[in-house]
Amino acid sequence: SPFLRELVKDRASVLLAKTEGDLQAAAVELVARHDVGQVASTLLTWVKDEAKSTPARVSALRSLAAADRAQLEAALLAARESRSPELRAEARDLLVKADPPTALELLQQVLDQEVSTVVERQRAFESLARLRVERAEELLARSLDRLSQGTLDPALELDLLEAVKAR
């Protein structure tokens, strides 16, 4: 309703400042739904802030992706360089839509690097399942080879099979 929209806009800074954790993530989504332009710079700052909770940072990134293309590039870059595996994975997921060639390069790096977390590699398989390009199929095929050779992390086997099945 217009009344609630105005109320949220008037109270945006308080909602964002006075909440924490999952509640803060929900507040980000609420404020962003009503007027991301007003808080875009705050959301970008949150994406960059390692002290903020991961759910709040992911919500901030998603909100910018949905509504503020001007801040998105900086937010994606910051998220990709974050210490949070979940935030890095979310940035790659958003890149699948925004910039598939760059996403494919990053997804390959995640699958090739042993330092990538299981969560990041699981999300990489999910992203590859959605990308309808030959290079995505090649990366999945390479992972299937690793599975058949017994060199794929067992924690990833089901994720790989589900990604291949989804294609």
Length of the chain in terms of residues written: 167
**Quick one: pLDDT band at residue 31, thresholds 50, 70, 90?**
confident
Over the stretch 41-73, which tens digit does the pLDDT of each residue have? 888 999 999 999 999 999 999 989 987 678 899
Q: What's the number of CA atoms in the CB half-sphere (13 Å) around residue 25?
A: 12
Over the stretch 72-114, which tens digit does the pLDDT of each residue have? 999 999 999 999 999 999 999 999 988 999 999 999 999 999 8
Residues 153, 167: Cα–Cα separation, whole Å: 21
What pTM, to 2 d.p., does this model score?
0.79
> What confidence score (pLDDT) does residue 35 get?
66
Helix 69-80 vs helix 21-48: crossing angle, to nearest 10: 90
> What confidence score (pLDDT) does residue 36 get?
56
Helix 54-67 vs helix 21-48: crossing angle, to nearest 10: 60
Average pLDDT of span 118-130:
96
